[in-house]
Amino acid sequence: MKILLIEDDSEAAHYLVQALDEAGHVTHHAGDGETGYAMASGMDYDMLIVDRMLPRRDGLSVIESLRAEGNQTPALILSALGEVEDRVTGLRSGGDDYLTKPYAFSELLARVEVLARRSNPAEAATSLTVGDLTLDRLSREVSRNGDKIVLQPREFRLLEYLMKHSGQVVTRTMLLENVWDYHFDPQTNVIDVHISRLRAKIDKGYKAQLLQTVRGAGYMIRA
């Protein structure tokens, strides 16, 4: 994936470029808003990672301008401002996701990879399949190997989110945001508890364990 990182902190940028490179992505770096805007409109990127507060031009205005020109490249906003209203302004200006500094790299990588596939067909598909596990989004039925699995509404949404991003790492924060719509980090292992309940329902008694824990990052469902 070709990524443009617009970030003025050169040390943080250097670290990010290296880490993204290790994860198999080609990353270009722009040190200020103006340069970033020029690069983003001049070249085709698969993903933009934009710091919110930039010299010469604000990150949100860069995204706004790109969107106004019809550029739909997914954009992840990085910001030290983490309140709900800051997040809302960020997403309203055309950003696709919002990550508050400081963040774990695994969190950033998971979000970038999920964002890049946001335009994939799974988004609109009426039924999701991972191995022998299928989830029907219309009838809200889940079955594995033909056996029906009964899920609570929230468990259904949890599984739906995981299956929509099958093969990708999904972090605890992402789950809390997307399944429960909470934007804070709880102290306890609340997500782990829900995952283990879900796992008991879909994986128990099967040889292939679909729902996997990715150490230090989050969870992933895959065949």
Partner 1 sequence: MHKIVSLWRTTTVRLTAIFILIFIVFSIALLAYMAVRSSISIQQVQTREVVWEIRQLRELNQRRGLRALAITVQRLASRPGPGVYYLGTPQGEMIAGNLSSVPSNILANEGRYSLRYTPQDAFGQAGVERDETAPRERDSHAMVQSVILQGGLRLVVGRDVVERRDFTAIILGTMAVGLGGIVVLSAIAGVLMARRVLARIDTITETSNKIMSGNLSERVPVTKHNDEFDQLAINLNDMLDRIEKLMAGLKEVTDNVAHDLKTPLSRMRNRAEAALREGKTPRDHKKALEATIAESDQLISTFNALLLIARVEAGSVADNLQDVDVSEVVSDVCELYGPVVEDTGAVLETRISPGIQLRANRELLSQALVNLLENAIKYAAAQNTGSEKHKTTKGKIIVSAERENERIRIVVADNGPGIPLDDRRRVLERFVRLEKSRTEQGSGLGLSLVSAVARLHKGTFELEDAKPGVRAVVTLPVNP
Closest approach of Cβ 53 to partner 1, in Å? 16
If the CB atoms of residues 146 and 153 are measured against partner 1, the closer one turns out to be 153
Measured between its terminal Cα atoms, the distance across the chain in Å is 23
Shorter beta-carbon distance to partner 1: residue 55 or 82: 82
- Whether 20 and 48 have beta carbons less than 8 Å apart is answered as no
Cβ 197 to partner 1 shortest distance, Å: 6
Measured distance CA(27)–CA(111) in Å, rounded: 16
Q: What angle do CA 209, 220, 90 make, to 5 degrees?
A: 165
- Tokens 């980090």 found at: 185
Please check whether residue 121 is in contact with residue 130, taking contact to mean a CB–CB distance below 8 angstroms.
no
Amino acid occupying residue 197: R
In angstroms, give the least distance from the CB of 84 to partner 1.
5
Comparing CB distances to partner 1, the nearer of 158 and 170 is: 158
**Least Å from the CB of residue 52 to partner 1:** 16
In degrees, to the nearest 5, what angle opens at C-alpha 41 toward C-alphas 89 and 121?
70
Supply the minimum distance, in Å, between the C-beta of residue 45 and partner 1: 30
Q: Are 91 and 66 within 8 A, CB to CB?
A: no
The smaller minimum CB distance to partner 1, of residues 139 and 188, is found at 188
- 7 or 107: CB nearest partner 1: 107
Instruction: Indicate the helix (H) or strand (E) that contains 21.
Output: helix 10-22
By the criterion CB under 8 A, which residues form the site for partner 1? 82-85, 102, 104, 154, 180, 182-190, 193-194, 197
Q: Does residue 37 contact residue 49 with C-beta atoms inside 8 Å?
A: no
Question: Which residue, 15 or 182, has its beta carbon nearer to partner 1?
Answer: 182
